[in-house]
A = this chain, B = another copy of it.
Amino acid sequence: MQLIMLQLRDLPTKETLKKFAQRYPQADISAVSAFLHLLRLATDLSFALDACLSLHGLLQGRWWVLILLMREENLTSTPSALAEKAGVTRATMTGLIDGLERDGLVERLLDSRDRRSVSVRLTAAGQSRLDQVMPDYYRRVHDCMAGLDESDRERLHELLNLIGSGIEAFNQ
């Protein structure tokens, strides 16, 4: 599933929104404004995350696979399970694992019980790479969120959940 998002660098002014609302009177201006603000901020955050990860030779997709493996008890999973959890196709996961294996960050192991299946394990080098990137990542996220206290963060979760339950309505 491909998710390209424009940067929406030029969010509409109130005037622009009203101009559009004249042609499209049903427009809920504050809803559109919130919607675009959210997409725009997430795009900026995603780009900032990319920049951080690239300092450590990683991309979002590969980084996420390493994290998913580290979550596992024995640092091992299968391509299918990883694809499901990362929200990408199995074909995409094949490519992600190829890249990580080439860099020595994961290894493929054959499963003797089901010979269709492959185990993917985080290597010591992979764990070491995570030990480099995660503290940097956590530091940046902490600094970025420093303006919100705990109650702000809870309120944000509530608001995001409200919008999240509206996605079903969006899709109908």
Q: How far is the CB of A123 from chain B (nearest CB, A)?
A: 16
B residues less than 8 Å from A27 (CB atoms) = 134, 138, 142
Give chain A's interface secondary structure class.
helix
* Contact flags A26-39 to B (C-beta < 8 A → 1, else 0): 11101111110111
> How many A residues, CB 8 Å from partner?
83
Q: Tell me the complex Cα distance, A1–B36, Å.
A: 18
Residue of B nearest to A52 (CB): B170
Q: Tell me the complex Cα distance, A144–B12, Å.
A: 19
> Given A5-B3, A5-B60, are A162 and B141 also a contact pair (CB < 8 Å)?
no
Binding site for B on A (CB under 8 A): 1-10, 12, 16, 19-20, 23-24, 26-28, 30-35, 37-39, 41-52, 60-61, 64, 68, 70-71, 84-88, 131, 134-135, 138-148, 150, 152-153, 155-157, 159-160, 162-167, 169-172
Known A5-B46, A6-B64; 12 more pairs at CB < 8 Å: A4-B60, A5-B5, A8-B64, A9-B87, A10-B68, A10-B84, A10-B87, A41-B42, A140-B171, A143-B172, A147-B162, A148-B159
